[in-house]
Amino acid sequence: MKKFLFKLCAFLGIVLCIYTFIICILTNFNIGNLLSLSMGAILIFIGFFWLKIKKNKLVFIFKAAVLLYLCFFAFMSVFIFINSKINETDFSEDAVIVLGCALHGTTPSPTLYRRLEKTIVYAQKNKKAVIIVSGGQGPQEDTTEAEAMFKYLSENGVDKNRIIIENKSSSTYENFKFSKPILDKIFDNSYTLCYITNDFHSYRANRLAKINGINAVSFNCKTDVFSFVPLYLRECLAVIKLWIFKQ
């Protein structure tokens, strides 16, 4: 039984590494992909070498660190998943912020595509809400995320006169920080707000909105299954950053 479990670890590690290499080819490289690759490497190591290493103090410390690494990401992923469905919209808000995500050149990534499709649904259900598309230009992108989002929404039935571009932000914290003055000016500091993002990102977005003095509800879309592992691993570190630095 023990040998089977270690062989299973090795198999899962190989699958995870192959999966991550495919993700890296098809999407922008990021810390989530690196974490996914490291997780695969650790599982391969456990499967092939865990029982073969001679026991000593340093080996014990190393093994403990590996187990803590795996347990940390497992706990954080479960925590994020449980807290992903909070404060959901009733489609009566004055405004909505669509949080930016990666582009492939000028084309929305699968994760951003899901947010945009959800925005179209929201726009149909709440025809009065102002829509802010928020996101700057990343190092692997040929335009700003906001401009790509504006183009996609306006070409897919959303009235472009409802859409406001915020194209300076480079993080979720800045999405709210830079969008708030725009909304304060439009509504004279009194308005209700919804943000649109993927479920894995919703907990952190909710906390960052509050840090920026915004009480907001969410309209979440599902996480793209193909990118599930690197997105959740990356989000684990982002949540820790949020707790420590409030950003």
As a whole number, mean pLDDT of residues 120-145 equals 96
Q: Are 163 and 233 part of one and the same domain?
A: yes
pLDDT of residue 225: 84
pLDDT band for 146, please (50, 70, 90 cuts): very high
pLDDT score at 54 = 74
| pLDDT at site 85 | 77
Distance CA 50, CA 43 (A): 10
Q: Provide the 8-state DSSP code for 127.
A: T
Burial of residue 177 (CB within 10 Å: 0-12, 13-18, 19+) is buried
Contact (Cβ atoms closer than 8 angstroms) between residue 80 and residue 203: yes
Binning pLDDT at 50, 70 and 90, where does residue 132 land? Answer: very high
Contact present, 235 and 200 (Cβ < 8 Å) = yes
Examine the pLDDT at 27 and tell me if it is beyond 80: no
Task: For residue 159, tell me if it sits in a domain.
Answer: yes
Strand pairing of 163-166 and 107-108?
unpaired
> Which CATH number covers residue 105?
3.40.50.620
Looking at the 3D structure of the chain, how many domains does it have? Answer: 2
Question: Is 139 or 33 the better-scoring residue by pLDDT?
Answer: 33
Q: Residue 53's pLDDT is what?
A: 82
Domain housing 45: 2-82
pLDDT at 79: 95
Please identify, among 82, 108, 138, the residue that sits at the C-terminal boundary of a domain: 82
The whole-number average pLDDT for the span 58-78 is 92
In a domain, 198, yes or no: yes
Pair (9, 56) in one structural domain = yes
Report the 10 Å Cβ neighbour count for 170. Answer: 14
What is the separation, in whole angstroms, between the first and last Cα of the chain?
Answer: 46
